[in-house]
Structure 1
């Protein structure tokens, strides 16, 4: 499984509390515990929680599909995640699953619990909802992402005309799966006037091997109307947030020489795209 690609949840002072909760629900473990960043392992998948402050709130534009092997497993996760949260779609039998439910948990993370077949070895799959100005662009987005990343492909596609949903454009995507560099993602279009959209509340982190890969992904993902942000963050043309992070940055920031590591952090904080050479120069200064 590719753990160089993983989701990041924006938290407001409760990253550790959230991390402990998800590890309890899904029998996971904490793999990094710092004042700002918590990393957890759930079913062999990496998930990052970032204490960034009150600026962004998570919402169902990005949810996490948990593919369960039994109806009892669905029920077990549902009962725990719903405490302090809210139901979005009732836990019930649907045409696509004998047992399915969608909820927001107490920390604002959106979960779809699904009894059915996995499309890969991934147990938890981020699911992107294309709506408002992006409604009808799920197919285009899948093509854009799979052309950007290596080892990528588009999998099964279910359109609304095939799924029997009368209130949606029949050509829009009800559910589809695609893979970027071995990492599975689902997507869907929605014509409803939801009161939310993509924001920095949930982003995808891409760990890069060198400057060439960093430059390529950065330049490609901001093409066509995306925009640069700070510290390796960007938004693509659909408004979805990515963090393009060279592995060398993490090594330098975690260096045992705290003074040198702090110099690297100070330089990084002023960057948009991360420039490895400038980090090295700061470290060696």
Structure 2
């Protein structure tokens, strides 16, 4: 991560060669996002990759080991959206084939808030701050 002042970076551990598919989905949904680099194993799985969403770097891999654990909503990615259209689009797209953990609605201090778990198991808290 040379050239970045970021000190703490989310790291997503996927199983079953899902990392590249997840990165492609995320970078297609979020504006100001890109896949920065991917290193592959001989079998085509992701050895290490970095992508960014709204300027936040996120690293990921495909685990070479089958683990008994997966993602949990206890840890989630919190996204501050810029518009009602953006939050509605992200909520719909990320919950497709996933789960709605908290329906899109109003919360104190927020015009809209929703919490979803995507088809890969990654949890997303989506927020549209109140304009006051």
Aligned residues of 1:120 and 1:184 also touching (Cα < 8 A): no
Distance 2:3 2:20 in 1: 18
Greater radius of gyration (CA): 1
Q: Which of 1 and 2 has higher RCO (CA within 8 Å, sep 6+)?
A: 2
Paired residue for 1:137, among 18, 33, 41? Answer: 18
Structure holding more helix per residue: 1
Q: Mark the CA change 1:215 to 1:121 in structure 2 (over 3 Å): closer, same or farther.
A: same
TM-score scaled to structure 1, two decimals? 0.40
Paired position in structure 1 for 2:118? 236
**Paired residues, number:** 122
Q: Mark the CA change 1:175 to 1:209 in structure 2 (over 3 Å): closer, same or farther.
A: same
Paired residue for 2:5, among 95, 113, 121? Answer: 121
Q: How big is the alpha-carbon RMSD for the aligned residues of Structure 1 and Structure 2?
A: 1.8
Paired position in structure 2 for 1:149? 30
TM-score scaled to structure 2, two decimals? 0.84
Paired position in structure 2 for 1:193? 66
Q: For structure 2, list consecutive stretches of 5 or more residues without a partner in the other structure.
A: 104-113
Distance 1:244 1:219 in 2: 11
Runs of 4+ in 1 over 3 A off after TM superposition: none
Distance 2:60 2:2 in 1: 15
Paired residue for 1:158, among 5, 19, 39? Answer: 39
Render the CA deviation track for 1:177-227: whole Å, top value 9, x for unaligned. Answer: 00112110000001422121101121011112332221011011112x112
Paired position in structure 1 for 2:111? none
Structure holding more strand per residue: 2
